[in-house]
């Protein structure tokens, strides 16, 4: 049991990385569609590029969406909507009240035989109109002729009648005018006023009944128009895909995916999907281990890769499912851009390739999708480089859009032989995708804060000497500031030569001595008046002040919220070496006595990367070179060789991933740079 626990502790990070990949595979499998996909690709009007296709089983030929829509439209045009006759709306009380009001208005309170006669006339006309029915207007009647049929519901009876057999408000008014035309002008006005004001629309559209009937009829529409039997030749190789063949192939694809969706076949489909997705992630895993080990060893880098990859896959599957027409708006090239900014181009290309392959399984027109997005992703990687300027991203966005358009036009010419079907909507989608690449800026910023990693953009901002901390250093400790500038230049040149991160080293070197601001006069480069405060201290006290500038520098950097990658240069630039000058003076002053070395040792740690190692070398050499009297080529060569040899013999570089060959290159670069700084002419042979 103890052995198992010790193994777990030993390989903790390796196990955690494997678990992260397994989680990523599980998420991708979970969100991926579980349907099988048809293995043949075809396009309307193009030759069938596969072998002769024989029907593997019986399947129905589906109607096109246009055919279904035409059938639905025809049913709606022929459908007789339901209207209900409401007898209670045209009641006697309503008419009598209106008649009395209008009589008083026209003739006063006097009632005689004429009033009874007019009342009977008005009542008879009113009953004729209301009994026949006055229909209420409804949009379902729009465009219908008078001969169009409707279903009229009276009580429990439903009668199909012509629309023209019912009054509308206008036809009812015309009928009333015709009936009262034979009466005198005053009586006609009175009858017209009574009848028009008491008229009620008593035939009303029954929406609930009509909708139920329509739904019932539409539910019986058949979506098939024929049958293909097993063993029947569907299409031959080279045969043009006509609209009829296209619909048969579409029907076969639909039936195939439906057949594979049943419970027994579904298990095999899911198994195949799991194997394919797992294989792709295993390839990605092995690529990191075998070819990008430095990134695989960093848990942060693995998290950045998988998190960015999963976010893109999740968003894309959501768009595929809910808004498939927006498939080309998604900025797929944002994945390689983010990975280039934090890692390198090789990882960005491989991860983008694998991601597009995963998405291509279910993308519409998968070959075109894969070709388009992979080409755009490669162009993004080539143009964005290390994203050291904001203009890089804009340049990349333009290059991606141009790539999109070249691929789109090329595919149209290849597949259709013409640009007649060029779509401005597709151009808008591709342009939107290219513009959305600018979202890389906020994503990179969030990643920097979330994972505590740096990009070139952040390093450029930090290396600006007008930053508050560096500005303060130049004022309080000008000699140290000049020393830091020289160290940053030496380290940057050396790392350019050996292929390291020159910008990181340059930035780290600018901050490596900021702790000297606390007591600037205790450091010789800031002493200008001849006064040395160390003369008033014991040697161990002087050593503590010298050693303390590292601790003070870390505190200042943390207070200023500098990234840990920059603080590493402050922490490691002296490693675990001795403050040799004061240690030797202490031994010389106390001969025969044992000196406590711990009082004169820096606390470390020693450098653990090429960048921190090179900054240590540059710092030591630059500081020592200031003490050379009448520097010449030989003195500078000996100085650099001796200091590097001393660092190596003191085991200060054993944890840094820098080879002896690279150390020799660093020495050559620093020697050449120091010769230029000290204006030393190269000695010519006699």
We report the CATH number of the domain holding residue 514 as 1.10.3210
Considering 217, 233, 250, which residue would you say is the last residue of a domain? 217
Is the peptide bond between 530 and the residue preceding it cis, with omega within 30 degrees of 0?
no
Does 602 reside within a domain?
A: yes
Residues 204 and 226 in one domain: no
Residues 95 and 47 in one domain: no
Of 289, 280, 286, 329, residue with least CA distance to 309: 280
Residue 478 within a domain: yes
Tokens of 622: 């630059």
Average pLDDT over residues 672-679: 82
Rounded distance between C-alpha atoms, residue 424 and residue 422, angstroms: 7
Q: Are 80 and 212 part of one and the same domain?
A: yes
* Residue 247 counted as domain residue: yes
pLDDT for position 76: 82
Total domains present in the chain: 4
pLDDT > 80? residue 680: no
Residues 415-473: tens digit of each pLDDT = 767 777 788 888 899 999 999 998 888 888 888 888 877 888 788 888 888 888 999 99
8 Å CB contact between 176 and 125: yes
- Other beta carbons less than 10 A from residue 400's beta carbon: 28
3-state secondary structure 255-300: HHHHHCCCHHHHHHHHHHHHHHHHHHHHHHHHHHHHHCHHHHCCHH
Q: Is the pLDDT of residue 111 over 70?
A: no
**Looking at the domain assignment, is residue 274 inside a domain?**
no
Report the residue count for the chain. 686
pLDDT digits (tens, 9 = 90+) for 245-270: 888 888 777 777 666 554 455 667 77
Q: State how far the alpha carbon of 299 is from the alpha carbons of 11, 172, 350, 369, 500, in Å.
A: 13, 85, 18, 32, 20
Q: Do 352 and 437 fall within a single domain? A: yes
pLDDT at 684: 45
Angle at which helix 12-31 crosses helix 2-10, to 10 degrees, equals 70
Query: Which DSSP state fits 142?
Result: T
Mark whether 393 and 303 lie in a shared domain. Answer: yes
Bridge partner residues of 59 (DSSP): 228
Long-range own/partner contacts, residues 492-499 (CB < 8 A, 24 or more apart): 493/669, 493/670, 493/673, 494/614, 494/617, 494/618, 494/665, 494/666, 494/669, 494/670, 495/610, 495/611, 495/614, 497/665, 497/666, 497/668, 497/669, 498/610, 498/614, 498/658, 498/662, 498/665, 498/666
Q: Which range of residues forms the domain containing residue 387?
A: 2-29+280-415+424-451
Residue 309 and residue 210 share a domain: no
Residues 391 and 368 in one domain: yes
Q: Indicate if 237 and 130 belong to the same structural domain.
A: no
- Do 120 and 95 reside in the same domain of the chain? yes
Q: What is the pLDDT of residue 536?
A: 82
Question: In terms of domains, do 51 and 168 share one?
Answer: no
Per residue in 335-394, pLDDT (tens digit) is 999 999 888 889 999 999 999 999 887 777 778 888 899 999 999 999 887 666 677 788
Q: Which residues contact 512 (CB under 8 A, 6 or more apart)?
A: 484, 487, 553, 569, 570, 573, 615, 619
In this prediction the pTM is: 0.63
Question: Could you tell me if residue 188 is inside a domain?
Answer: yes
Other Cβ atoms less than 10 A from the Cβ of 433: the count is 25
Statement: residue 183 has pLDDT above 80: no
Average pLDDT, the chain: 84
DSSP state of 240: B
- Ramachandran region of residue 512, left (φ > 0), alpha (ψ -120 to 50) or beta? alpha
Task: Read off the pLDDT band of 39 (50, 70, 90).
Answer: low
- Is 268 contained in some domain? no
The answer to whether position 558 is within a domain reads: yes
Region class of 23: left (phi > 0), else alpha (psi between -120 and 50), else beta: alpha
Q: Is 530 helix (H, G, I), strand (E, B) or coil?
A: coil
Tell me, yes or no, whether 265 lies in a domain.
Answer: no
Mean pLDDT of 534-545: 84
Same domain, yes or no: 201 and 236? no
Return the percentage of the chain with pLDDT > 70, whole number.
Answer: 92
206 plus 228 within the same structural domain: no
């Amino acid at each position: 049991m103890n052995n198992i626990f010790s193994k777990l502790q030993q390989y903790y990070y390796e196990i955690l990385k494997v678990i992260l990949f397994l989680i990523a595979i599980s998420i991708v499998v979970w969100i991926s569609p579980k349907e099988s996909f048809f293995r043949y690709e075809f396009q309307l009007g193009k030759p069938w590029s596969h072998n002769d296709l024989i029907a593997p089983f019986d399947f129905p030929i589906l109607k096109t969406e246009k055919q279904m829509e035409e059938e639905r439209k025809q049913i709606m045009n022929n459908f007789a909507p339901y209207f209900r006759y409401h007898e209670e709306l045209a009641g006697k009380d309503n008419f009598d009240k209106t008649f009395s009001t209008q009589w008083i208005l026209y003739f006063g309170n006097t009632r005689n035989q004429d009033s009874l006669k007019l009342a009977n006339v008005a009542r008879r006309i009113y009953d004729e109109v209301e009994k026949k029915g006055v229909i209420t207007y409804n949009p379902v009647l729009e465009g219908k002729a008078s001969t169009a049929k409707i279903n009229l519901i009276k009580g429990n009876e439903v009668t199909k009648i012509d629309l023209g057999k019912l009054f509308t408000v206008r036809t009812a008014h015309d009928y009333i005018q015709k009936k009262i035309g034979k009466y005198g002008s005053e009586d006609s006005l009175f009858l017209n006023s009574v009848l028009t004001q008491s008229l009620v629309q008593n035939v009303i559209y029954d929406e609930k009944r009509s909708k139920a009937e329509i739904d019932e009829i539409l539910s019986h529409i058949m979506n098939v128009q024929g049958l293909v039997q097993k063993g029947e030749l569907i299409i031959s190789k080279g045969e043009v895909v006509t609209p009829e063949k296209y619909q048969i192939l579409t029907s076969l694809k639909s039936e195939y995916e439906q057949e594979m969706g049943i419970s027994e076949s579904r298990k095999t489909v899911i198994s195949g999907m799991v194997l394919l997705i797992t294989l792709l992630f295993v390839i990605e895993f092995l690529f990191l281990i075998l070819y990008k080990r430095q990134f695989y060893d960093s848990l942060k880098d693995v998290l950045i890769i998988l998190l960015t990859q999963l976010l893109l896959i999740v968003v894309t599957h959501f768009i595929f499912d809910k808004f498939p027409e927006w498939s080309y708006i998604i900025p797929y090239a944002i994945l390689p851009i983010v990975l280039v900014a934090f890692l390198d181009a090789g990882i960005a290309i491989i991860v983008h390739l694998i991601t597009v392959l995963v998405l291509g399984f279910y993308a519409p027109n998968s070959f075109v999708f894969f070709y388009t997005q992979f080409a755009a992703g490669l162009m993004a990687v080539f143009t964005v480089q290390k994203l050291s300027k904001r203009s890089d991203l804009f340049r990349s966005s333009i290059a991606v859009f141009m790539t999109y358009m070249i691929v789109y036009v090329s595919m149209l010419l290849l597949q259709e032989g013409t640009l007649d079907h060029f779509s401005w909507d597709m151009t808008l989608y591709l342009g939107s995708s290219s513009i959305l690449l600018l979202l890389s800026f906020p994503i990179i910023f969030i990643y920097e804060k979330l994972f505590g990693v740096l990009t070139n953009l952040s390093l450029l901002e930090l290396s600006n000497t007008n930053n508050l901390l560096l500005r303060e250093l130049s004022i309080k400790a000008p000699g140290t500031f000049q020393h830091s500038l020289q160290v940053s230049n030496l380290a940057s040149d050396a790392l350019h030569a050996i292929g390291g991160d020159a910008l990181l080293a340059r930035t780290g070197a600018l901050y490596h001595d900021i702790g000297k601001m606390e007591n600037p006069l205790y450091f010789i480069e800031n002493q200008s008046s001849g006064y040395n405060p160390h003369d008033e201290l014991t040697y161990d006290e002087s050593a503590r002040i010298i050693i303390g500038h590292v601790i003070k520098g870390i505190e200042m950097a943390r207070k200023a919220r500098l990234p840990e990658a920059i603080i590493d240069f402050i922490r490691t630039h002296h490693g675990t070496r001795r403050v040799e000058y004061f240690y030797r003076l202490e031994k010389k002053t106390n001969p025969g006595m044992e000196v406590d070395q711990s009082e004169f040792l820096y606390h470390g740690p020693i450098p653990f990367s090429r960048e921190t190692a090179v900054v240590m070398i540059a710092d030591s050499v630059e500081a020592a070179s200031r003490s050379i009297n009448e520097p010449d080529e030989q003195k500078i060569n000996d100085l650099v060789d001796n200091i590097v040899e001393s660092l190596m013999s003191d085991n200060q570089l054993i944890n840094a991933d820098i080879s002896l060959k690279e150390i020799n290159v660093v020495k050559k670069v620093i020697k050449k740079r120091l010769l230029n700084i000290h204006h030393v002419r190269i000695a010519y042979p006699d």
